[in-house]
Amino acid sequence: MIREKENGAAPRGTAAAPGPGKPTGLVAVLERLAEKMAEGRAWMSPEQTAEFLGLRWDEFRRIASQIPRHPLPEGRGNGLRPRYRYYAPEVTEWMLGR
């Protein structure tokens, strides 16, 4: 045990102390969960994206192909047209770049 302390290693059976500012245990799990939840809220449906951009639905439909979008995993919708979802940070970047 003395050698381990001299080498800077934690004694056997104990965990090394985390660095300053690094969350551990329950705090780390909660932070990762909060990040995932925030990312999930960043995905928007076409209707939400139109509202986000402040466009009427017909205006949005006209420019939808120019907006960065991602196809939904289930493929085509009821009308055999591809269905998409939009990622808010990409839409924001697109909007600012116009």
Nearest to residue 17, comparing CAs of 26, 8, 30, 27?
Answer: 8
Q: Quick one: pLDDT at residue 4?
A: 47
In this prediction the pTM is 0.55
Is a pLDDT exceeding 60 seen at residue 46?
yes
> pLDDT of 8-42, one tens digit each?
555 555 555 555 666 667 777 767 766 766 666 78
What is the C-alpha separation between 59 and 49, in angstroms, rounded? 12
With H, G, I as helix, E, B as strand and everything else as coil, classify residue 10. coil
Mean confidence (pLDDT) of the chain: 75
Answer yes or no: is pLDDT of 48 > 50.
yes
Task: Return d(Cα 77, Cα 97) in angstroms, integer.
Answer: 30
